[in-house]
A and B are shown apart, each in its own frame.
Chain A
């Protein structure tokens, strides 16, 4: 009984301090997932804040991972970029070239292990749109020794929580996700599917877009976002050998000893 009282008291105390709005980090919250919109140049703000909030909500509802429901925007040239090792970058247009300070800051961000998710908000049917091309070009300046490569269907990103077949967002084109990676560690994920667009809300509270695949497509977009979060928080945990027989069985494959 005393143990239960203690646990309830502990939970209440933790809940209390987690709700303190002024703290950039709080105990128990410091390692939480936060999809921070990255702003560069003249970008005034993110178009997908509702999607990012929903991403956080879905993550906490579906998984044990903590997430911040109200992501804070961060400028690429700001030291705040080093508050969280994940950032989300999206737009539907080409932006001004990255400044020297932004390039340097992003380079340090990646050097410390940060991951950037680039979600093209206006992709073409066949691939990246203007922003996607722009982001690839500018990130090549940041990470000149890396080139985008398609993410194989059996990559751990597609099994970090859900078993995801292929990337889908507002657009369900067949273009694969692309990544910039070094030694197997992903630095940048390029999506040409406007994944956050699939779960973006309009000001009136409804979905911003209706999807050709309907709600199942939206659900698949959520699942991919959850998987991205899990990759950010667990890295390649699901590649560990201990998971292999379970995952192969669920994918209908025969486990090998």
Chain B
């Protein structure tokens, strides 16, 4: 509690009264001096003026209770992943932790320190258990959040300077404008002084979507910091695959000049869908961060035109129906080879009278195989034409992302001698071999829609034309049981496979990186030309093939589920995948989603398997445990629909580790613009703390005398002065 004298009148009135009083006193002195009227006039006059002044300002005692308040210092600690990189001692984040502790120690008794970690989202209260996991360092939104939530007297930002907002290089004026509104000084603490000795891939520029078979420019910026001697670094680009080893796409040399090197090259991807590319450098000895010598990134490959190889064992109406559909689709380039004459046929003509050309089997399946997006084998027997020696290559082609359709007929599947071959291993159905194996079932039948077939978007166009109805088929090739991950869309109404399930008639399946279709009938053309075809306007054949090829080419319209990464996948952190069913395919009741994640390193077993329940909207969010760095494929099966695949990449540190250089100059610029100081972590105690504030918590005004007493005294003394003046003859 403290007490002091004050006045009740407003300050301005007090000053005005004092001024008038001083003027009156001066005039009085002048008058007394001129008239030599004596001390009594002067004394009574001054007394009257003073009494009037006191009556105006009314003196009082003021009792107050004051509290001394410590200033608040808010500390924002960068918790982005770049803070997990090496610092001066330990990681940059551990350096930040020590700096926070040191600052709190220095401020003990002088200031209150409140600390928050910032990154991508809103700042969160600081805790020593926090880790540097944020994918970005968003200082601007953190400041905005503080402006509305926290009152501070000073702000301290602890970071390596690699901020996403404001970005390094922002002008001082722009920074000053931004921080002026903040109104308090912003000090900065650099957690690392120098760039580490490190060779790294700073950036990879490649269109997120590439076109199959078309070279795509790839621009790689390589960095070499900390005085590491890099020279020429070998650079390699590979495509990660789940079947077999990674495929080399390109190689180059990064000639490091100064601290950077730029390598430009072209890569060509052959198959559609999501792929994971790996760009790596061979770093020299002394490299301190080996994790950023390798970058992984997903690329979606589409196509402008689909290139299809159509091989038919003999000309039939079914062959013509497929050909006419292929030729009617302007987005398809068709290369067709039909066997028009076998060795047993006698054309009764010399070669020059025939239009026949040799079937260039070796050339097609060695030189040109990779240039096709899909291959259709229709009623084709591999052996007589020397295709059997290329079957392993065709199987590898499918495993590497190609599409394959085998269409039925007397020369297809088991009857075509494919059982037990490499090609059979990439079909969605098994083929039985041995003398007891049946090649065909010759009884007429109407294929039955399976639940998967009804739900499959690839057959949606056909179902919209004909509903559940299908034409009668005059027999079918005998197909075996479904391979793992395959789906039967049409089945035989009575025939069973060895596992007791209905025999597939139309089956689809994922094989390695590719897809395949088995259509065990040779009467597919009856969908278009028949009394059944009349009811669908002859469009059903095209509807079927649109779906089959679209699905093979991973056209999103024919995928039942979309799989997306909810956020960037970073090694060592949980992975969140979001699944969404296509509109119209959302199950009315919750459905089961089985999702397998497999590493793209040639391993065949799923790394993770999760089973989730879809929401009423047909979506789900599934979280997987942390995974090591690498490429992955996620295969989701949504209820009864077909399997959908999405490849993605997980990196250590992600983009935040790509460039390990700190940006201390950016920290200095921020401090400069915000009237703060910039120090290194070890000098954090040099940060000036704001002054303590005094707060008045209680105030009591006690008048020295009542106002009327002051007024009476003033009137009395003014009257006395008047009497004295009369007696001295001044009036």
Contacts and interface: CB of A to CB of B under 8 A. Distances in A.
A85 B340 contact: no
Interface string B407-426: 00110001101011000000
Interface residues of B, number: 65
Contacts of B355: 159-163, 238, 243, 246-247, 250
Contacts of A30: 316-318, 473-474, 522-523, 526
Interface string A106-127: 0010011110000000000000
B13 interface: no
Contacts, number: 191
B409 to A, nearest CB: 6
A17 B340 contact: no
B320 A14 contact: no
A6 B414 contact: yes
B219 interface: no
Interface stretch (A57-65, A94-102, A167-175, A203-211): A57-65
Interface stretch (B438-446, B677-685, B696-704): B438-446
Interface in A17-50: 17, 20, 23-32
B528 A223 contact: no
B223 interface: no
Contacts of B529: 82, 85, 112-114
Given A2-B434, A27-B440, A112-B538, A64 B342 contact: yes
Interface stretch (A133-141, A142-150, A189-197, A226-234): A226-234
Contacts of B415: 7, 10-11, 14
A63 B476 contact: no
Nearest to B349: A162
B522 A82 contact: no
Given A3-B417, A65-B314, A250-B352, A31 B525 contact: yes
Interface string B310-344: 00011111111001100100000011111111100
- State the majority secondary structure of interface residues on B: loop
A5 B435 CA distance: 6
Given A161-B355, A233-B319, A223 B340 contact: no
A82 B533 contact: yes
A242 interface: yes
| Best-buried of B316, B319, B345 by chain A (most CB within 10 Å) | B316
Interface string B371-396: 00000000000000000000000000
Nearest to A160: B355
Given A2-B434, A6-B414, A26-B442, A31 B348 contact: no
Given A6-B417, A233-B315, A82 B530 contact: yes
A223 B523 CA distance: 28
B692 interface: no
B43 interface: no
A178 interface: no
A23 B440 contact: no
B528 A113 contact: yes
Contacts of A25: 444, 474, 523
Contacts of B531: 79, 82
A148 B544 CA distance: 34
B534 A108 contact: yes
Nearest to B314: A64
Contact of B475 (A9, A17, A65, A159): A17
B346 A31 contact: no
Contacts of A24: 474
| Best-buried of A9, A28, A162 by chain B (most CB within 10 Å) | A28
Contacts of A6: 414, 417, 419, 433-435, 437, 439
B528 A62 contact: no
B433 A2 contact: yes
Interface in A210-244: 219, 223, 230, 232-238, 240, 242-243
Interface residues of A, number: 60
Interface in B349-371: 349, 351-357
Contact of B345 (A32, A61, A235, A237): A61
B347 interface: yes
| Best-buried of A14, A26, A64, A79 by chain B (most CB within 10 Å) | A64
B379 to A, nearest CB: 8
Given A28-B410, A31-B318, A66-B314, A163 B417 contact: no
Given A62-B345, A64-B345, A82-B533, A7 B417 contact: yes
A26 B441 CA distance: 10
A7 B417 CA distance: 7
B410 A161 contact: no
Contact of A9 (B435, B528, B530): B435
B212 to A, nearest CB: 21
Contacts of A27: 410, 440-442, 473-476, 522
Contact of A17 (B346, B442, B522, B537): B442
B439 A10 contact: yes
A13 interface: yes
Contact of B316 (A17, A31, A61, A114): A31
A234 B326 CA distance: 12
B440 A235 contact: no
Contacts of A31: 316-319, 409, 522-523, 525
B320 A162 contact: no
A23 B444 contact: yes
Nearest to A79: B531
Contacts of B313: 64
A206 to B, nearest CB: 20
Contacts of A108: 534
A243 B533 contact: no
Given A61-B346, A159-B355, A235 B522 contact: no
Nearest to A16: B442
A14 B313 CA distance: 16
Nearest to B343: A64
A62 to B, nearest CB: 5
A232 B323 CA distance: 12
Interface string B428-465: 00000111011111101000000000000000000000
A240 B354 contact: no
Contacts of B420: 3
A162 B353 contact: yes
B563 to A, nearest CB: 39
Contacts of A62: 341, 345-348
Contacts of B345: 61-64
Contacts of B417: 3, 6-7
Given A65-B316, A234-B338, A17 B433 contact: no
Interface string B468-503: 000001111000000000000000000000000000
A83 B530 contact: yes
Contacts of A111: 537-538
A242 B327 contact: no
Contact of B324 (A113, A160, A246): A113
A130 interface: no
A84 interface: yes
A23 B417 CA distance: 26
B645 to A, nearest CB: 33
B86 to A, nearest CB: 60
B354 A234 contact: no
A24 to B, nearest CB: 8
Nearest to B409: A28
Nearest to B440: A27
Interface in B517-563: 522-523, 525-526, 528-531, 533-534, 537-538
8 contacts: A11-B415, A14-B410, A30-B473, A85-B529, A113-B529, A161-B347, A163-B352, A163-B354
Given A13-B439, A62-B345, A112-B533, 14 more contacts: A3-B433, A10-B439, A11-B415, A28-B475, A30-B526, A61-B345, A83-B530, A111-B538, A112-B538, A161-B340, A163-B355, A230-B340, A240-B335, A250-B351
Interface of B: 313-320, 323-324, 327, 334-342, 345-349, 351-357, 409-410, 414-415, 417, 419-420, 433-435, 437-442, 444, 473-476, 522-523, 525-526, 528-531, 533-534, 537-538
